[in-house]
Every structure is written in structure tokens, then in C-alpha cells.
Amino acid sequence: MSEPVILTQGLGRQFAGKWAVQDLDLAVMPGEIYGFLGQNGAGKTTTLRLLTGLLQPSAGTLCIDGLDHRTGSRELKQRLGFVPDTPPLYDYLTGRQYVALVASLWNVPRRERDDRSDQLLDRLGLAEHADLLCKGYSHGTRKKIHLVAVLTTAPRVLLLDEPSSGLDPMSNKSLKELLLAESARGTTVFLSTHGLELAEQICHRVGILARGRLRAQGTVAELRHQHAERSLEDVFVAITQAATP
Ligand SMILES: Nc1ncnc2c1ncn2[C@@H]1O[C@H](COP(=O)(O)OP(=O)(O)OP(=O)(O)O)[C@@H](O)[C@H]1O
Ligand SMILES: [Mg+2]
């Protein structure tokens, strides 16, 4: 039996005395695609920032790929790829130069980098944008270029904050195919999404977060079964409403 790649126990984070995320126990297995659902302000981005190490926890423990965040933070970051909702690209680099910069920071050999990035740029329909400056990119193009950069580093753990927001339907389809391919080769994927369709189509398990706490998790089929076979949307609404005082 393999060990969880993302393991948190009692993980929590406070801002100004108020818990944004509390008592979070997660165990995400190798190659699993885990989708985090929750209303605006539920704590999804806070959780992702805790998992990346960008934010320090106020409580609990966190292990990624067997490394404790307190002792192994440098190696841990090497194994992670993070796609935030609004990626910070460099305005005066082209997309291709940005991908090359990220790959060089991760020590990806040049040949491997070129092979992987050319293929990814093509799959995401970015070939004609790749040699233009990032400052002129649309929101969706920025996201896709950053996704290419991250995937070029071949992370063991891929963390994505609302990966499909801002993507056109063709790009969204490519995104889903890419994430399924990553999962098939053993990459563990943890993503947040408001897109229930994305969750239903590609996530092996989903977790529903409300007011900073994990209220339910399982496969979509399990969650629907526990709620009289209602739609995932109805399940989401019922769980979120039950957590509202
Ligand atoms: N840096 C911060 N300082 C103060 N409060 C914060 C900070 N970051 C997040 N919060 C608070 O933590 C809570 C959770 O926010 P978070 O951004 O994690 O939600 P979310 O689930 O990602 O929401 P959305 O769907 O809108 O992206 C919110 O109440 C938010 O105001
Ligand atoms: Mg968010």
C-alpha cells in the first residue's frame, strides 16, 4: 500500500485571529486528482498556499512526498508545481523565455525542456503567442503559459488554483487531457475549482470545504449516493447550507 503524497493533520491558518482554514486532514494518494470545492472565501486558496509553503500554518502538520514542511522546505519546493489563479509572469520576457527561465531554475536539461515545452505550447494552442511579450497576454494566455512552464519542470505534485477559470472551451478540454495524462504517469494533482463539471469529469475524489472546514469528501458517486443520488450541484448546496449558521 503506497503512502499519501499530500498528508495534512489538523492543518489550520488564522488571519487576524480568525480561522480561514481549520482542522484540515487530507491524504491524497500518488497519481490521484483531488478537487477542492467551496464557496468564495471558503479557504481553498489559503489551503493551496499552505501546501506550497508560501504561507506558514498556524496549526497542524503538513508532509508532501514524505517531506515535512518544517524541515524539507527546499526539496519540497523542487517537487511542487503551483499554478495560481493569476500567475505572475515577467512583462518583458516572451512566453517561451519565461518557460525557459522557470525550467532553468528547476535544472531541466535544455533538450528535455525544448521537447516538453514545444509539445505543451502546441497542445494548448500557444504556438503563435509564445514569442510575444508576456505583457500583452490575455488572462487565459498568461495562465496557459504558466501551466506550460510548470509542467515543463515535471513536478511530482501539481497544485492548481482554479485552473479552468478564464480558459476557453478548447483550452479547457486540453487542460483536462493534460491533467489526466499527468495523473496517469503518477503525478499527484490537487486543484481548487468552482467548475463542478471539471470535478465530475476528471477528479478521482473531491472535498467540499465550507467556512474553512472540510465538510465532506469522497468520489462524486459516493457523495451523490449519500445524498439520495442528487446532482453534485445539489450536494454542494446542501453541504454548504448545512455549514451556514
Ligand atoms: N492574506 C490574508 N489576510 C487576511 N485574510 C485573508 C488573507 N487571505 C485569505 N484571507 C481570508 O481567508 C478566508 C479564505 O480565503 P481564501 O482566499 O482562501 O478563499 P477561497 O476559497 O480561495 O475563495 P475564492 O473562491 O473567492 O477564491 C477569507 O475570509 C479571506 O478573507
Ligand atoms: Mg481562491
Run means of pLDDT, 10 residues per run, the chain, 245 residues: 92 97 98 97 97 94 89 82 92 96 94 93 93 95 96 96 94 96 97 95 97 96 92 94 88
**Coil, helix or strand at residue 11:** strand
Q: Is residue 130 in a domain?
A: no
User: What is the domain extent for residue 196?
Assistant: 6-86+156-242
The pLDDT score that the predictor gives to residue 132 is 97
Where does 16-142 show beta strands of DSSP type E?
A: 18-28, 33-38, 59-64, 67-68, 80-83
Q: What pLDDT does 213 receive? A: 97
Of ligand 1's atoms, which has the minimum distance to the CA of residue 162?
27
In a domain, residue 122? The reply is: no
CA distance 90 to 243: 41
Q: Is residue 206 in a domain? A: yes
Question: 78-102 burial string, b = 16+ CB within 10 Å, else e?
Answer: bbbbbbbbebebeeebbbbebbbeb
Residue of minimum CA distance from atom 8 in ligand 1: 46
β-pairing, 67-68 vs 80-83, is unpaired
Backbone angles phi, psi at 178, to 5 degrees: -65, -40
Q: Which atom of ligand 1 is nearest to the CA of 85?
A: 27
The grid coordinates listed for 234 are: 445539489
Classify residue 143 as exposed, middle or buried by CB count within 10 Å of its CB (0-12, 13-18, 19+). Answer: buried
Find out whether 103 and 113 touch, Cβ atoms under 8 Å: yes
Q: 76, 65 in Cβ contact below 8 A?
A: yes
* CATH code where residue 169 lies: 3.40.50.300
Does 186 fall in a domain?
A: yes
Residue 161 C-alpha to ligand 2 middle, in angstroms?
7
| Overall number of domains in the chain | 1
Assess contact for 134 and 95: CB atoms under 8 A. Answer: yes
- Give the pLDDT of residue 1: 65
Determine, yes or no, domain membership for 222. Answer: yes
**If you measure from the C-alpha of residue 180 to the centroid of ligand 1, how many angstroms do you get, rounded to a whole number?**
28
E strands, the chain, in order:
6-15, 18-28, 33-38, 59-64, 67-68, 80-83, 157-161, 188-192, 205-210, 213-218
Angle 22-23-24 from CA coordinates, rounded to 5°: 95
Residue 36 in any domain: the answer is yes
| Burial tier of 17 (Cβ tally within 10 Å: 0-12, 13-18, 19+) | exposed
56 CB near ligand 1 (under 6 Å):
no
87 lines ligand 1 (CB under 6 A): no
Please indicate, yes or no, if residue 117 is contained in any of the structural domains: no
Within a domain: 92 = no
